[in-house]
Structure 1
Amino acid sequence: MMSPQRILYVASEIAPFLETSLVSDCVRKLPEAMQSRQIDVRIVVPKFGTINDRMNRLHEVLRLSGSIVSINDVDHSISVKVSTIPSTRLQVYFVDNDDLFGRRRSVFEDHHNNFFEDNDLRMIFFCTGVMETLKKLEWEADIVHCHDWITGLIPIFWKKLYQDHALFRKAKLVFTVYNNTFSHHFPCLAEKIEKVGIAQEDAVWLTPGGFRNIIQLAMHYSDLVLRGEALDAVEFEDLFKDKELPWVQNDDQYNEEYFEMYKRLLSHA
């Protein structure tokens, strides 16, 4: 079986920079284990406003910043910052925009615990920002492992929006689902991703714009779908009725099982 040489991890969060769910621990553990196998690893997460630049020693990477993402006829500039996880050789790239992320002192909800109405726009911006950052890095992955719903557009962007770019032709896409659900709906989500270049027949997966639609789209365009934990939220009812999602238990064999899974996935190329 082929072994991965380069793995990209895209996630909503990673410890120690942000820790609100199991995602942060999983994404902290896996990259270091893969790096110890001499695999070239990259990690990209959103730069939420709760992440303090000075305390976490973030600094902007000017050569990666400056791209513009146009969403719903509004331009948003991408700022890319980087930091290193303490006591490791792991660098983390943070995709930022002051209006959408940096100035907000919370993650997905305001100080009244209301889900941000533009979290769909933030998702589109972040996923596009990941793609544009990779283009500027000129870095080609073998495996792209996406964690949590905010990364849910990466698979379709990879295979439909950027498929003609040389960097995005060979990677296998893995998507891991967690219990980080929400009940909010984004009625214009399908229309918004049509405007960034996704065909209508693909965008229709996102109607009527709920959590389930985002997960279904990510599953459809991923090469492997996993669950990061036991899924008990009501939003998952009947979502996986056609098949039971694989689940790698978070135990002593966790990293080894993922490595073998990556190898099997590449062997099916």
Structure 2
Amino acid sequence: MNDKRILYVSSEVIPYLPENEMSTMSFEAPKMVNSLGGQTRIFMPRFGNINERRHQLHEVIRLSGMNLVINDLDMPLIIKVASIPKERMQVYFIDNEDYFKRKATYSDEDGVLFEDNDERAIFFAKGVIETVKKLNWSPDIIHVNGWLSALVPLYLKNYYGNEPLFKEAKIVTSIYNQRFDGTLDQDMIKKVLFDGIEDEAVDELKNPTFEALMKTAIRNSDAVILGEEELSEELVKCAEDLNLPTLAYVSKEEFSNAYQNFYLTKVLNEEEA
């Protein structure tokens, strides 16, 4: 992995949010790449239940300040950063007062999904990509984790498709069981189409369920990683039907060589490590 650049985009990362398969691997995978001489950038939402003082988040003024248009509204983008203790890794946080100030991740205390989760997903996707552009950092691989990150592949392929910085980048999507019941806002598809993305690219979002978001991510990816042993058969079949290179589930105790070889041989089509 020497000198390889991997951008990790995740809905959840430890130690900032509780431990689960996704938040754990969103930490362990970049740690592994760093240890092998690669370069990483990690992006996640700055949810309001992340303790900024404890984790020493601070705003990066040179990266903040732009507005992102979401459904014809200008929404200010704030970028914060923190260093993971004892690791030479920085995490970039996508923030906005309207979308991420509330003291929760995806739902209220009664478990009801936030009505604007669709817009939060759009904002997060565009915010990550615009910030990487400002950093002028061209990744070899973009590894996406979690349904709130699921629009990143769609926007990379269909909205930023002519952006030279991402021209050679390969997109990997990991599938997990961190899901939601029901659907996001039924107008989500209109908000994505507002950005000029073609109708056929967002066909799944006519009914924005968890499966629909993840299928949209998979259809715009170059490879898939199965992040848990038991997963939605519908999503696994989607990857199979597209004949995408797929890495079967590997535990965090044994993932290092598997991820490394998958990145190099199946994603970048290079020689085995």
Q: Which bracket does the TM-score occupy, shorter chain normalised?
A: over 0.9
| Contact 1:3/1:262 (<8 A) preserved | no
Corresponding residue of 1:262 = 263
- Alignment counterpart, residue 127 of structure 1, candidates 125, 128, 132: 125
Corresponding residue of 2:198 = 199
1:174 aligns with 2:172: yes
How far, CA to CA, are the matches of 2:253 and 2:112 in structure 1? 38
Q: Kindly state the Cα deviation for residue 251 of structure 1 after the two structures are TM-superposed.
A: 4.5
1:152 aligns with 2:146: no
Counterparts of 1:54-73 in structure 2, within 5 Å, are 54-73=53-72
Where do 4+ consecutive residues of structure 1 move more than 4 Å? none
Q: List per-residue Cα deviations over 1:238-265 (Å, max 9, x = no partner).
A: 3433639532311443111101100011
How far, CA to CA, are the matches of 2:198 and 2:211 in structure 1? 20
Q: Mean alpha-carbon deviation: is it higher for 221-230 or for 249-258?
A: 249-258
| Contact 1:4/1:142 (<8 A) preserved | no
Q: Kindly state the Cα deviation for residue 74 of structure 1 after the two structures are TM-superposed.
A: 1.6
Counterparts of 1:14-29 in structure 2, within 5 Å, are 14-19=13-18, 21-29=20-28
The 3 A distance-change label for structure 1 pair 89 and 130 is same
Letter in 2 for 1:247: A
The 3 A distance-change label for structure 1 pair 160 and 19 is same
Corresponding residue of 1:40 = 39
Corresponding residue of 1:161 = 159
The 3 A distance-change label for structure 1 pair 140 and 203 is same
Q: Mean alpha-carbon deviation: is it higher for 240-249 or for 135-144?
A: 240-249
Q: Mean alpha-carbon deviation: is it higher for 2-11 or for 199-208?
A: 2-11
SS at match of 2:111: coil
The 3 A distance-change label for structure 1 pair 238 and 205 is closer
Answer 1 or 2: higher relative contact order, Cα 8 Å, separation at least 6: 1
Q: Kindly state the Cα deviation for residue 114 of structure 1 after the two structures are TM-superposed.
A: 0.8
Corresponding residue of 1:142 = 140
Letter in 2 for 1:153: L
| Contact 1:3/1:263 (<8 A) preserved | no
Letter in 1 for 2:159: L
The 3 A distance-change label for structure 1 pair 205 and 267 is same
Corresponding residue of 2:237 = 241
| Contact 2:247/2:262 (<8 A) preserved | no
Residues paired across the two proteins, number: 263
How far, CA to CA, are the matches of 1:44 and 1:16 in structure 2? 13
Q: Kindly state the Cα deviation for residue 43 of structure 1 after the two structures are TM-superposed.
A: 0.3
How far, CA to CA, are the matches of 1:231 and 1:120 in structure 2? 26
The two structures have a TM-score, normalised by structure 1, of 0.93
How far, CA to CA, are the matches of 2:88 and 2:3 in structure 1? 19
SS at match of 2:40: strand
| Contact 2:2/2:38 (<8 A) preserved | no
Q: List per-residue Cα deviations over 1:130-151 (Å, max 9, x = no partner).
A: 0111011000000110011111
Q: Kindly state the Cα deviation for residue 156 of structure 1 after the two structures are TM-superposed.
A: 1.4
The two structures have a TM-score, normalised by structure 2, of 0.91
The 3 A distance-change label for structure 1 pair 18 and 203 is same
Q: What is the percent sequence identity of the aligned residues?
A: 38
How far, CA to CA, are the matches of 1:134 and 1:252 in structure 2? 31
